[in-house]
Structure 1
Amino acid sequence: MAALQPSAEGQRSPSEKKSFSQLFSQPATSPIKIQHVSVYKGEAAVIFSREDVDKLAAPFRWTLVGKFSHGRPSLEDTRKFFSSLNLKDQVSIGLMDYRHVLIKCTAEVDFIRIWMRGIWQLGKYPMRVFRWTREFHVHKESSLAPVWVDLPNLPIHYFDKHSLFSILSPVGRPLFLDSATAAGTRPSVARVCVEIDVSKQVVPRVWIAVEGESGFWQKIVPENLPSYCSYCWRLGHLSVDCKKNLTKPQSKRLQHGLNS
């Protein structure tokens, strides 16, 4: 697999340059119409419909954001790193700011592989990976995370993929089964990787029933559910433990001051 690589960071190769007339002769490919200007609090505003924004975001369905906290490799080295991963299809890498890179995958399998790893080591630079959403901002980490979820003592005939995806749909967006669940070789527990919004409380159980027959409550057990801070918008801790949160209890602030 070859990643998309320009000749130099931030520059187009001669073959990529387009003449002024070529730019205006390109066919219109936008999925939406030009929006009318409106006013918000006395100033100019443009208001998009949710439907239009969903259309604009659709090409980025399998897109991730890589975040470096302590320096980063050059864009060229980052692209070379992803080219070395033997991914199934193309992936394009673009710089968002000095900390963030946009990782746009073509294949869902590559998207999931890169996301599930969580942290990648690019030479001496660790890079955390988050799912891109249309609400993403470089100052606000996504609260969506891939989490393994256990369904203990689930009757074996519900181990079917579509059955499990249906059962776990109230929890988040199911991604895939683990190999033992898919093969039915571990009947004690079904295990599914689910995309979960960790800023919200996870559904603890789901009612499963057959029409005209009795049902049962199925317990939902997330594995290693990451914390999310609603104060600084970061994964890894809660707002009550946030060093930037000046509204947390005094005892918490003093404890952090002693430990820092």
Structure 2
Amino acid sequence: MTKPTIRSDHGSVQSPESPTPAVGGGQTGLTELTRSTQPVKPPELSQQLFSTPMPPKRTFAEVVAPSKAPQTASQKFFFADSPPPSIGAVLTDEKGPTLVFSDAETETLAAPFRLALVGKFSHGKPQFRHLHRLIAGLGVKGAFTVSMLNAKHVLICLSNESDFSYLWLRRIWHIQGFPMRIFKWTPSFTPTQESSIIPIWVRFPELPANLFHKDALFAIANMIGTPLQIDDCTLNQSKLSNARIGIEIDLTKPLVEGFNLQINGVTIH
């Protein structure tokens, strides 16, 4: 920390005990002024140092007592006399107690990881200290962080959806010759079990030209899964023979094999 520097240039002043200039005894002239060797303290510095009152002394109980100010998420400690945390519910059955988080609580806790991906290195991996630079070299545009989950898995938290879709839709990346498979992070993700959610590219042939609009295409893709990204040729309408959209699906749920569209009362199969 850089501390401000206070500088005072002290001059020499006349000592209170110094004799006053005298003329007499037949001699004309001034006697030499006696100069003090003790500099005078500048008034503003003296006021700053000595006018500030000392803080009142506190007892040991007051020092260790929990603060009455609102607690923040960054507080590290839990005091013994504090009330139980207001999150989760404990259920007890024949198997023992279980701490259960509600869907709303889980959604709130998982909000910072909405654009998080898991990278898995099954056959060796680069040194961790180089991973951030190497992943940035894949073409990631926005800010992101990389954290180790275990010896094979890393958590990549992205800041924009385009980077999220860009990394995930490719599924496998090679970093310094090491393959890294990409999974979507979910609140229930565990490194011992791979996620059932995967991204796929789906083609919708012979759509009417007026449906080659982002909102309409996402509505169509939503019939199958969660839309992620529209192919460039589809979005700029340079290829109207079929629309190509990246979609997220869950393999544990039944796949939608087909559906109909209706425009102006006309059904399109």
The TM-score with structure 2 as length reference comes to 0.65
- Whether 1:80 aligns to 2:80 is no
Name stretches of at least 5 consecutive residues in structure 1 with no aligned partner: 1-20, 218-260
* Alpha-carbon distance, 1:41 to partner: 2.8
Percent identity, aligned pairs only, is 35
2:195 matched to 1:142?
Answer: yes
Query: Hey, which of these two has a bigger chunk of strand by percent?
Result: 1
Answering whether residue 48 of structure 2 is matched by residue 28 of structure 1, we say no
Any gaps of 5 or more consecutive residues in structure 2? 1-63, 75-84
Partner of 2:45: none
1:187 paired with 2:240, answer yes
Which has the larger Rg? 2
| AA at the equivalent of 1:37 | V
> 2:121: which partner in 1?
68
Describe the shift of the 1:185–1:85 C-alpha distance in structure 2 as closer, same or farther (beyond 3 A). closer
Distance 1:159 1:122 in 2: 36
CA RMSD in angstroms, aligned pairs only: 2.5
More helix by share: 1
Indicate the SS of the match to 1:78: helix
Give 1:27 shift: 4.0
Q: What SS does the corresponding residue of 1:206 show, helix, strand or coil?
A: coil
Counterpart in 1 of 2:175?
122
- Aligned pair partner of 1:113 in 161, 166, 181: 166
Cα pair 2:168 2:182 within 8 Å, conserved: yes
Give, in angstroms, the shift of residue 93 of structure 1.
0.7
Question: Which residue of 97, 101, 104 corresponds with 2:150?
Answer: 97
CA deviation after TM superposition for structure 1 residue 201, in Å: 3.8
User: Paired residue for 1:214?
Assistant: 266
Aligned-partner residue type, residue 184 of structure 1: Q
CA drift at 1:174 = 0.8
Give the length in aligned residue pairs.
194
The TM-score, its normalising length taken from structure 1, stands at: 0.67
Higher relative contact order (CA 8 A, sep 6+): 1
- Structure 2 match to 1:196: 249
Whether 2:226 is the aligned partner of 1:173: answer yes
Change (3 A) 1:97 1:185: same
